[in-house]
Amino acid sequence: MDQQKELDVQPEGWLRKRGEASLSDVHRSIAVQTRGPGWRRVAAFVGPGYLVAVGYMDPGNWATSLAGGSKFGYTLLVVALVSNIMAIVLQALCARLAIGSGRDLAQACRDAFPRPVAYILWFLAEIAIIATDIAEVIGTAIGLNLIFGIPLEIGVLITALDVFLILYLQKLGFRWVEALVITLLGVIAVCFGIQIFLADPVWGEVIKGFAPTTEIVRNPEMLYLALGILGATVMPHNLYLHSAIVQTRDYGHSIPEKRQALKYATIDSTVALMFALLINASILILAAATFHKTGQTEVAELGDAHSLLAPLLGWSLAPTLFGIALLCCGINSTVTATLAGQIVMEGFLHIKLSPWLRRLITRGIAIVPAAIVTIWFGDEGTARLLILTQVVLSLQLSFAVFPLVIFTASRSKMGELVSPRWLSAFAMFIAIVIALLNVKLLSDFVIG
């Protein structure tokens, strides 16, 4: 009855009525305290932001950050900072769209655009999911290889088991999925904290690296890596993911309850993304303080970085920490990418299947091409492939960002929770900057 009431008060600016929620088996499954201490209400919303933050630390980001840090030192740290600011704004809009309209981004595109346009956006979203999964499958397989010596081809197949892990954890409750991700993020933070301590970077140079420089735009190679970092940070699948998993909270249906939910969801994603910036920057700082400092400016292969850390840091366990952090990143990323794949398929196509079959199909769409490409490239060339996937993600980003900004700026679609004008203007500026950088990248390819 409550859901019907909510449907009745939804804004009328959509071409189609809202269908069944994506991830319907966990939709509004987590209770939100309406009384008692404020921290309990805040705690109820902690979780989705950290699943989104995984996008900062996926293996594709490792490749771009290792390449950027080894080649250009600390210069590209400013890109990580700018990407973080963009991510905070865009993820806040995702929460606003979900809570204000009751739709995730995929459903919103389906309900707002003519079907041919929606199908094109679905196809582009699937390409982004495949590119994401290629990076994560490769990273997980390399992590298994570095720690346990498992061949790359077998490691790729092992990554498919995350489907069953998600099914099991969601059967226990979506909080268990979030607990797994947050625990693995903690392990990653500890691993990098130790490695940064051993690397002993020049902190004055680190701080200077966060200052803007026009060289990034003028240097095509630097711009390519900068766009790779951008694509690895503000990832298209994160926008679809966040707008769906925010709705796992049973935050109520009235406008005051939704405003409170938006406040706490935004706090969750902002804090999580600031934490992720520390990890994201740590990868680049580690590469700059070890590889660039010693003149090894072409390190981008994850395996090479693993083998070089021991002699450079002077501690035999350093490569093991690197491998453990990489494996944790890979596991986290495959979990979130699988969920995003399901959300994209359900939201755009409105396909109703049992949860296990939906996950197998969405995982298969992503992992089959990822496995083929990974096995084809083998150990060599995986770094170039990882960086390429992140640039592909950056090129796909505009097709998710512009609809998100347009939807949340529309009072007819969002009602009382429409974005303030200043926020819509800032978000549109971000969307235009991303589009212009992609045009610059494509022109550089055509010319040179």
| Average pLDDT of the residues in 293-300 | 72
Q: Which residue has the higher pLDDT, 29 or 393?
A: 29
Mean pLDDT is highest, among 17-21, 77-81, 163-167, 387-391, for: 77-81
Alpha-carbon distance of 102 to 200, in angstroms, equals 48
Decide if pLDDT at 346 tops 70.
yes
12 located within any domain: no
Q: Which residue has the higher pLDDT, 255 or 134?
A: 255
Burial (CB count within 10 angstroms: exposed 0-12, middle 13-18, buried 19+), residue 11: middle
Domain CATH for 418: 1.20.1740.10
Alpha-carbon distance of 128 to 131, in angstroms, equals 5
Residue 424 domain boundaries: 24-447
| DSSP per-residue codes, 277-320 | HHHHHHHHHHHIIIIITTT-TT---HHHHHHHHHHHHT-TTHHH
2 located within any domain: no
149 located within any domain: yes
Q: What tokens were used for 137?
A: 């499958």
9 located within any domain: no
| Average pLDDT of the residues in 279-291 | 86
Whether 201 contacts 288, CB under 8 Å: yes
Q: What tokens were used for 6?
A: 């909510």
Alpha-carbon distance of 435 to 412, in angstroms, equals 26
97 located within any domain: yes
pLDDT given for residue 107 in this prediction: 95
Closest CA to 403 of 104, 186, 201, 183: 104
pLDDT given for residue 10 in this prediction: 53
Q: Which residue has the higher pLDDT, 267 or 199?
A: 267
What percent of the chain has pLDDT above 90? 32
Whether 142 contacts 59, CB under 8 Å: yes
Decide if pLDDT at 8 tops 60.
no
Whether 240 contacts 406, CB under 8 Å: no
pTM for the predicted model, two decimal places: 0.87
Q: What tokens were used for 31?
A: 């209770």
Eight-state DSSP code of residue 237: H
Q: Which helix (H) or strand (E) holds 371?
A: helix 355-377
8 located within any domain: no
4 located within any domain: no
pLDDT band for 33, please (50, 70, 90 cuts).
confident
Decide if pLDDT at 7 tops 50.
no
pLDDT given for residue 49 in this prediction: 93
pLDDT given for residue 5 in this prediction: 46
Q: What does the pLDDT look like over 325-342, one tens digit per residue?
A: 888 888 888 788 888 888
With b meaning 16 or more CB within 10 Å and e meaning fewer, what string describes 301-332?
bbbbbbebbeebbeeeebbbbbbbbbbbbbbb
Whether 294 contacts 74, CB under 8 Å: no
pLDDT given for residue 133 in this prediction: 79
pLDDT given for residue 429 in this prediction: 95
1 located within any domain: no
Q: Which helix (H) or strand (E) holds 391?
A: helix 382-408
Query: Domain tally for the chain?
Result: 1
